[in-house]
Each structure stands twice: as C-alpha cells, then as structure tokens.
Structure 1
Amino acid sequence: MGSIPAYSSAPGESESEILFGVRQPKTDVEWSKIGFTPFQVKSGTWSQPRWVQEPYLKVHGLSPALNYGQQAFEGLRVFRSESGSVQLFRLASHAARFARSAAAVDIPAVPADLFAKSVRLAVQLNSDFVPPFEGGCSMYVRPVVFASSPTMNMYTAEEYTFAVLVTPVGLLYGATGLRALVVEGFDRTAPKGTGAFKVGGNYGPTIPIMGRARKQGYGLTLHLDAETQSFIHEFSASGFIGIKAESAETGAPPTMVIPKDEHILPSITVDSVGQIAQELGWKVEKRPIPFTDLGDFSEVYTVGTASSLVPVSAIERESTGERFAFTVDAQSPQSAYARLTDRLQGIKRGLYKEPWGWVEELDGVALRNDIERITNTGSVKSPE
C-alpha cells in the first residue's frame, strides 16, 4: 500500500465544499483509509467515531481478535450515479447482519445508527475515491469489529474496536462464466455452528481450499451440507442461485431457486436478486437443494457483495466424476442473467427506481456537525 495522498482542492473550490460536497472521483486510487471507535466494558458504551488517515490499526498482540478470532465483519458497496451523486445500497440490512454476527462471538452490538453514521462518514470524507459512473467500478466498504484489549485466557475482553475501512475496487469477476469445484473432505461450518454469521473463522480455513482449486483451473469452490454432503449450501465466499429456464411451450416464467438452511449466511445480495426476480414476475423458491437437482438448472450464479452476480459455467465433483454444465449468456437481453444484472446494477447506480427503499443518496450536509468535530473544522462556514 502506498502513501496516502492529500486531497488537493480544485480551482475555485472552497474548504466548505471540500468537506460537505460530494467530490468528483480521483484519477489515482492507490489508497485506503479507516475510521474507528472503541467500546469499553467499564463505560458500557461506544465512543464517537474518529477519522484516521491511514490503513493501519495498532492492536495488542494478546488481543482475543488475533489469538482467538473474536471478530466480525461486513462488506458493502458504494456506487456513483450518472448525475455524480454517491449511492449507498441496503445500509440498514448490513447493519442488522453485522449486529447478529457480532453477537455470535460475544461482541457488544454496534448500534444501527452508529454503524450507519460511521459508514456515511467514511464514505463522505473519501467521496473522491468513489469511482466514476462509467466503467462499473465502485467503493468497497469493510466494517469490522473485534476484541482489542489483551487477555491471556478466553474471558470477556475489556475493550472492543469498531472500524470502517474504504477502498475503491474494480470488478472481481467477469461475465464469461466460472468453473466450480465441490469441496470434499472439509466442512466450512459445523452443524449448529457459526455458518450463518460473517465471522473470520468461517473464511480463513477456506483460503487453502480455494487456492488449491485455483491451481486446478477452478474459479470457485462449492460447499455442501456438513451432515450428509448431499445438499447445496454456498460458495466459499458468496451465495448460490439456480435458475430453471422459462418454458417455451407454456410461456411460464423462469424459476429462481435459493438454498435454505440455518447454517447458510443470509446473503443480502441473494435476497436482493430474489426480490428483483419476484418483481419481474418470476417464481422464487427458497428450499433445501439436493446436489442432484443441479441438472434441473439452466443457469447458476455466484452471488455476493464483492462478486455481485456472476454466471457459473460448470460444477464438478471429483469423487464421483459428476459434471453439470450451465448456460452462460451475458449478452442476450433475453437471458435470465442479463435481465437480473441489468436491474440489480441499474438500481445500485440510480438508473431504476426501486420500491423497497434500498438506495440512499449520501448527504454530506446532513453530516456537517460530525465532519466538523472529527476534522477539527468547526469554524468552516458554508459558501454564500
């Protein structure tokens, strides 16, 4: 990571406009910044956010986060609209899932309003790093919370830290289709375990699994249920969606099938795509999906905040030699993938109105008091 560039004002741009207006995208994006706020058990409250202009945290080497994995995290994307405004997508849903994940590892809840304010502040103060509308890039926001005070045993920590990191990102995958390998001999989560929560312990052990699969030419790894190895759960870092093609004979619309199991992380993007499908008049089923049902799907997607919606070309299982191939048609406006992607990305970028209240336009003026406090600019006045 390179050094953090200072923001240089444009000609005629006042200090107030720099702080409270949504700035234009920067052309150099080698950057990341964070803001964080600690929770102390003695006071029982979270402090107000601070703005930290570097991507590093000073953490005690004996913190439960480093030694026992006591942490939780989130991931959301921020987009620039065609008019230049900055769009937050499903902020409230991410706040709610973040709280559930924290509770699973005994971390005090970050109040939804503090979560939302911290995300807004991190994005607003770095809005020039939200990529332009053209090109499909976005800003990735990574809230994380962890036990930060030193302990030698597995006791309740005395202090916790909540941080929000932001960085501009490109597209994780293309739309050409990814091959997936079924994971065997390893279970991502245990029955009655933490699979439904976004905590690091679910992801770290899959890194070597994914690495070996990539060396074999696979872009994804697919996990089945731990108990029977016969039901589809999710990909290692994203959700699963299967599509049954619309009927040419009867004209019946496509059917979307989403895995349902208490051990699967409730994906916000999967939920969004499911609701979009219903709005399009498609049938949506949420149920356990036997592995053998893969043959019923014409299209399969990997779905998540980082990956968005990406087609899967094939799923293979080494132990049985089974291979299921799927249609990858990203160009035809008639393909299910093209219709879903157009609507999902259009909503995120402000091209389509949506009935669910998912999109929030960032308002720097509404954050004025907090911005003045954390940037020590209380004397800044609005331009007349």
Structure 2
Amino acid sequence: MSNQFPLSRTRTPVPDAERAAILAAPEFGRYFTDHMASAVWTPDREWHDRKIMPLQPFPLHPSAAVLHYAQEVFEGLKAYRHADGSVWLFRPELNARRFASSATRLALPELAGGDFLSSVEELVRADEQWVPGSAGEESLYIRPFMFASEAFLGLRPAKRVIYSVIASPVGPYFASGVRGVTLWVNSKYTRAAKGGTGTAKCGANYAASFAAQNEAQQHGCDQVLYLDRLGADGKGNLEESGTMNLCLVTSDRRLLTPPLGTILEGVTRATVLVLASEFGLTAEERPVSMDELRYGAAEGSITEVFATGTAAVITPIVGFRGNGYEFTIGNGAPGAWTLALRKHVLDIQYGLAEDTHGWLRRVI
C-alpha cells in the first residue's frame, strides 16, 4: 500500500460562513469536515483504492459482517494549530502501533504504520481550514477506523474490509474550567479479562461499557471505576475509569498506575509516565488495590487521583462511591500535580512548551 492517499476534492464544501460558525462553538463528534480517507482490503489485492474523498455514507448490505459480529477497531487522536498557523499531531506513531495491534486481535488485516500516518496527514491537509485556532483548547479530533464490510453471515473473519478516517472540530473538554469528577466503583460488570479484548480499541468494548456508565450516573457519579473482580465488597485491583487510564499521586511523590495486560495502552498514559520524573515524581506501574486506595485516601498517603485520555487529556478525580461507602481524595478539589501535568501536556501539544522528546509531528 502506497504512503500516498490521492485527493479527490469535494464540489460541495461546507460554506465558509457555516464552517466559521461551527468553529466558533465546536461540539465533540457533532460536525465533520468535508473529506474522509478511505481504502479497501481483500485477500487477492490486499490494500487498494486508497484515496481522500468527499465525506459520504458507506453503502452496506444488511448482512455486512460488522453489523452482526462487531469486527471493528478504531483510534482517536488530534491535530493542533500552533500560534504561527502550523498544524501538528502528537505522538501519532503510538496510535498507529495500537491500531495495528487492535486489528490483529480482531482478526482484521494490519495497516502499516506509514499508511496510517499518511492517511491522517493527507486528510488534515485537505481539511486544514477545519483545524481551529490556537486561542483555547480547540483541536481537530481525528477518528481512523476499520470494519468488516463483506456481505455474509458466518463465523469467520471477513474477506472484505474498509479502512477510513474522518475528522471533527472539537472544543475544550472542560468548557467552564477544569473540574473534578466522582467515580462509581462498579461491582456488577467486568470490563475485560486476561486474554480478552481489553487491550484492543474496539467498538464492542465501548458498547459493553454503557450499562456500567448508566449505573454510575444513577448513583450521582460522573463515570465508572472498573475493578479486576466482581463483588459488592468493593475488593479488587483498579483497572480503568470508563474509557480512561488511572493514575494516583502519593504523599512521598510516587505516581502509581495499573499495569498493562487487560487495559488499553493509552497515549496520554504513556506520556505522563515519561513526564513524571520531570515533575519530581517516581512512576510505578503496578497493581493498586481498592483497599490501598481507600486506606491511602483516609490517612493522606494518596493525595491525588486522575484519569488520562485523548479527549480530556487529564481529568481530576476527587471522589469515589460504592455500595454503602464513599470517600474523598485530598480536599475534594483538583490536585496541584494533576493540574501541572495537564497544563504541561497541553503546552507541548500547542507549541507553548519545548518538545524535548520529539513527540510532535508537523503536518502543515
């Protein structure tokens, strides 16, 4: 598969005034740019028909394999405009690597990292006018995805697969300022198990999370906390917060995060682990039990908790609730380490801090 996705420009772009109104108040995942990337895989030709084309629906037969067997994976990353007008991606190589790993787990054809990067970059170039300015935390959210499009009913990997990339301008996750969230400690649902699809970024994982998320909201919480075992006693090790990785800060300057194995290998998580030492924190990837969290919060050895992910970057977690108990982290407000790390990651992404690790990739 070539590293080039040739552009076929739309003849009916969104009018300038309408696009300007959207960029003035972008909403996550509601508005989309004028173009999309596309490629098709079949066993005989492998990847072919690569292109950047006008945004349009997919024609799918009702028996398309993805509709029945959920053979699908996706990614999420952002393009950032800097003050000089240039546009950059942040560590997209990690997204490319994870996308290939997810595809392998779902028995989908692997897309080479260079092809992933090329499709993303060419789409951003085609729709540069959709990348918001650098005044706030606005960005262009990019969604690469791959799904089984073969029309058949049967339990085997599909023999026709579509790869695509779409993009949506988004505003700051915390529009009114960074706030802390409260998590519901789930005792009913399992997010993942060893050997399952927990390390893959696939739609089925997210669909299965909705029931737990609804339960959290019914208990007045913002999101759910998954443990590695079920039971009303709230025992077990921490895994993830909804679709975000977890990090804890201790009074003796350690940054703790659950190890990989059944959780998603987050790009922001990996970034925070590298930056920890620059903030005087010692990073530790190890199991953290719910008992350790509750005891540490009560006696002050665990001072901050936060979640990491592409959408919100870093989300402060200020409290937890479970069956018959609840507790607060610190003084119930976002912590200093949390806010400092969040600001620094954003400053790198928007070109306001030096990129000493070479994480930024220029597109325009």
**Deviation at 1:110?**
0.5
Match of 1:317 among 322, 327, 342: 322
CA distance in 1, matches of 2:76, 2:331: 29
Match of 1:208 among 207, 211, 215: 211
Q: Does 1:242 align with 2:245?
A: no
> Equivalent residue for 2:38?
36
Cα displacement string for residues 15-52 of structure 1 (whole angstroms, at most 9, x for unaligned residues): xxxxxxxxxx9558643442211111112x21153223
Within 5 Å, which residues of 2 pair with 1:44-55?
Answer: 45-55=46-56
Cα displacement string for residues 55-85 of structure 1 (whole angstroms, at most 9, x for unaligned residues): 5222222122111010111111111112111
CA distance in 2, matches of 1:86, 1:156: 38
Distance change (3 Å), C-alpha of 1:55 and 1:167: farther
Of the two, which has the highest radius of gyration?
1
Task: Report if aligned partners of 1:77, 1:89 keep a CA contact under 8 Å in 2.
Answer: yes
> Equivalent residue for 1:160?
161
Cα displacement string for residues 173-219 of structure 1 (whole angstroms, at most 9, x for unaligned residues): 45110011011111111332111111111110111221232243211
> Equivalent residue for 1:139?
140
Cα displacement string for residues 128-173 of structure 1 (whole angstroms, at most 9, x for unaligned residues): 1111101211111111011111121012322111110100112234
Instruction: Give unmatched runs, 5+ long, in structure 1.
Output: 10-24, 247-253, 364-384
Root-mean-square deviation (Å): 2.3
> Equivalent residue for 2:224?
221
Q: Which amino acid aligns with 2:318?
A: S
Residue identity (%)? 26
What is the TM-score when the length of structure 1 is the normalising length?
0.81
Q: Tell me, what secondary structure is at the counterpart of 2:157? A: coil
> Equivalent residue for 2:7?
none
CA distance in 2, matches of 1:111, 1:326: 45
Q: Which amino acid aligns with 1:182?
A: V
CA distance in 2, matches of 1:28, 1:236: 26
> Equivalent residue for 2:114?
113
**Deviation at 1:328?**
5.4
CA distance in 2, matches of 1:111, 1:327: 47
Distance change (3 Å), C-alpha of 1:342 and 1:110: same
Distance change (3 Å), C-alpha of 1:289 and 1:55: farther
Task: Report if aligned partners of 1:80, 1:131 keep a CA contact under 8 Å in 2.
Answer: yes
**Deviation at 1:284?**
0.7
Q: Tell me, what secondary structure is at the counterpart of 1:114? A: helix
Task: Report if aligned partners of 1:243, 1:257 keep a CA contact under 8 Å in 2.
Answer: yes
Within 5 Å, which residues of 2 pair with 1:201-350?
Answer: 201-226=204-229, 229-246=235-252, 254-294=253-293, 295=296, 296-318=301-323, 320-327=324-331, 329=333, 335-350=336-351
Q: Tell me, what secondary structure is at the counterpart of 1:204? A: helix
> Equivalent residue for 2:185?
182
Instruction: Give unmatched runs, 5+ long, in structure 2.
Output: 1-11
**Deviation at 1:226?**
3.3
CA distance in 2, matches of 1:209, 1:120: 36
What is the TM-score when the length of structure 2 is the normalising length?
0.86
Cα displacement string for residues 298-349 of structure 1 (whole angstroms, at most 9, x for unaligned residues): 111111011210101101112x42424344555x8xx112221121001101
Give the 4+ runs in structure 1 shifted more than 4 A. Answer: 25-29, 327-330
CA distance in 2, matches of 1:317, 1:263: 22
Within 5 Å, which residues of 2 pair with 1:121-136?
Answer: 121-136=122-137
Task: Report if aligned partners of 2:188, 2:230 keep a CA contact under 8 Å in 1.
Answer: no
